Amino acid sequence: MNPLFIAGPCVIESAEILDCVAAELVRLQKKYDLDIYFKASFDKANRTSLRSFRGPGLEKGLQMLADVRERHGLRLLTDIHESCQAAPAAEVVDVLQIPAFLCRQTDLLMAAAKTGKVVNIKKAQFLSGADMQYPVEKARESGATDVWLTERGNSFGYNNLVVDFRNIPDMLRFTPRVIMDCTHSVQRPGAAGGKTGGNREFVPAMALAAKAFGATGYFFETHPDPDSALSDGPNMIALQNLEAVITSLLNP
């Protein structure tokens, strides 16, 4: 199976940033014949602080994503947090993503599955890879024909995540598409004074380790200037470094 790539800014900040990232993804797609999806969130409903930037919201955010598709021709992925968001998001994007903290929410999984779109379920920080059998079953029994799973680390204490790469082969028992979220897995949740910190220098190694364990896809949040990003900046990789990380995964 050819590797799949998901990349984009954490949250929709502006049309200019969306265009900048999308243009680079198109360049890489053409240069390396990549199977790639553009990702950005219209709402980050799980930010640490009430004062944190959440995004433009459902209606405006979906229109901005639709504009990315029209201008750049990229396939799209976005996450949903409530069942009522599934149908309108499905009118615009190709993949509906279920956030890790919500992967056991039955109504959310059912709503996403009923749209007929691909459903990407992120493994919760409190679950094992084997536990993800049941969210997959919920989605498939509700009508989803294509279900992906994404590894993003586990919490074993405060303000940190640990990746057990054995989760990847465990989840491959339930679906052929298991994606490594290489940027969220280096988060330091809540470790930056009311917001999430991170260690982006470990992202390339996370990706290569996931490849060794059989991952069939890779998720990278990327930004032209991560240090000024409005969400998840410390764990995002700079857009200018994305090509080198991707090409390291294409080599035999």
* β-strands 118-122, 147-151 pairing: parallel
Provide the pLDDT for residue 158.
78
CA distance 98 to 132: 12
- pTM of the prediction? 0.93
Provide the pLDDT for residue 189.
67
Query: pLDDT (tens digit, 9 = 90+) per residue, 52-89?
Result: 778 889 999 999 999 999 999 999 999 999 999 999 99
Please report which helix (H) or strand (E) contains residue 1, including its range. Answer: none
Provide the pLDDT for residue 190.
57
E-assigned strands of the chain? Answer: 4-8, 35-39, 75-79, 95-98, 118-122, 147-151, 178-181, 187-188, 197-198, 217-223, 237-238
CA distance 39 to 34: 15
Provide the pLDDT for residue 3.
95
Among 44-58, 73-87, 165-179, 213-227, the least confident range: 44-58
Q: What's the mean pLDDT in 202-223?
A: 96
Provide the pLDDT for residue 52.
74
Query: pLDDT (tens digit, 9 = 90+) per residue, 16-29?
Result: 999 999 999 999 99
Query: pLDDT (tens digit, 9 = 90+) per residue, 129-161?
Result: 999 999 999 999 999 999 999 999 998 877 788
Provide the pLDDT for residue 87.
98
Which residues 6+ apart lie within 8 Å of 11 measured at CB?
40, 41, 43, 44, 53, 54, 55, 230, 231, 232
247: pLDDT strictly greater than 60: yes
Q: Which domains does the chain have, with CATH numbers?
A: 4-250 (3.20.20.70)
